[in-house]
Structure 1
Amino acid sequence: MSAFNRILLCYDGTGEGQHALADGARLAQNLAAEVHLLSVINNFAWVQGADITSSVPVDIISDSVKSVLEEGLKKLAARGIRATGHFAIGDPLDQIPFFAKDLNVDLIVVGHHRTSRLARWWGGRTDGLLLDRVSCSVLVTMGPETSTGAQTAGTSGAGETALPAEHS
């Protein structure tokens, strides 16, 4: 019997998220685990541009999250994995622990986005706090490294931001 019977895969559609989804899917298949897929849109970005986004209907934002979720569910289904999808709008540092506890998962899988110390300081990043907010294991996947402004072979380059889980 595996220690990881119920896995929460966090997916945001970025390259890092796609890497986490692929790694989490392989692990779930090997362990024959129950899979939950969570897509979260970070409302911090929307709050920063509140003057612009105040005219954006909430259902457009919700549809965007649902679209990313559907994409992830299709990718899992293509691998033969049946997953239950969940979406949320809010701070991933709040939403991921909430869903992990609510779903009683044994493992959370998230992608890591490499940033410089200056970028973390400037952006007020507190990603390491995810580990302090959950009571289960967390697998942080590391996609291929990319050099500044250029991609290395094998990366998708599909985005700039991943769900939280950063080690400082």
Structure 2
Amino acid sequence: MPTFNRILLCYDGTREGQHALKDGASLAQELHADVHVLSVLNNSAWMQGADITSAVPIDLITDSARSLLDEGLQKLAARGIIARGHFAIGDPLDQIPLLANELKVDLIVVGHRHSSRLARWWGGRSDGLLLDRVGCSVLVTMGPEIGPHAAVAGSSGAGETTRPVEHS
């Protein structure tokens, strides 16, 4: 197994980003790795809604995105991990590889959001491109989300099912 000395955790405040931060932090602690956190303000996402966002000052949007980075750094600090924060504006598929290559990281940790094929097609999602743009390993965290292999409601996850409570 390769040694991961420098890890880049991608954090955007979403549930998936929180899983990436948590899982990446656990790995970094075990490996005593140098940790960097990247938060990207995806300008293409808010440019598509330009009519709405034009009424919101850009400084407010940027400050909000920077506060997400601070939140991630504080969560790591609470676990005893000192990390360096990085903030970028642009497409995450451009910004993540750019910083990863600049920092010469050994591992990038990102969260995965489950979506249907239609949603990926409609949104123009091309998640696979990240792997083509970096020269290091990528850990994609799944988190305890509803997905094709998630436990069914009413199941304890250990092969046992619970009986529904009857109300009269």
TM norm structure 2: 0.84
For 1:113 and 1:125, how far apart are their aligned partners in 2?
11
Residue correspondences, number: 150
Q: Looking at CA atoms only, which structure, 1 or 2, has the larger radius of gyration?
A: 2
**Counterpart residue identity of residue 78, structure 2:** A
For 1:55 and 1:116, how far apart are their aligned partners in 2?
32
* Aligned-pair identity (%): 75
For 1:140 and 1:19, how far apart are their aligned partners in 2?
10
Q: Which residue of structure 2 lines up, in the alignment, with residue 73 of structure 1?
A: 73
For 1:18 and 1:50, how far apart are their aligned partners in 2?
28
Q: Which residue of structure 2 lines up, in the alignment, with residue 90 of structure 1?
A: 90
**Counterpart residue identity of residue 144, structure 2:** P
Partner SS for 1:113: coil
Partner SS for 2:128: helix
Q: Which residue of structure 2 lines up, in the alignment, with residue 138 of structure 1?
A: 138
**1:135 Cα shift?**
0.6
Gapped regions of structure 1 (runs ≥ 5): 154-168
For 1:104 and 1:55, how far apart are their aligned partners in 2?
39
Q: Which residue of structure 2 lines up, in the alignment, with residue 124 of structure 1?
A: 124
Ranges of 4+ aligned residues in structure 1 off by more than 6 Å: none
**Counterpart residue identity of residue 40, structure 1:** V
- Tell me the alpha carbon deviations over residues 57-106 of structure 1, each in whole angstroms, 9 at most, x when there is no partner: 22112101111001000100000000000111110000000110111111
Q: Which residue of structure 2 lines up, in the alignment, with residue 16 of structure 1?
A: 16
For 1:145 and 1:39, how far apart are their aligned partners in 2?
22
**1:56 Cα shift?**
2.5
Partner SS for 2:85: strand
**Counterpart residue identity of residue 14, structure 1:** T
Gapped regions of structure 2 (runs ≥ 5): 148-152, 155-168
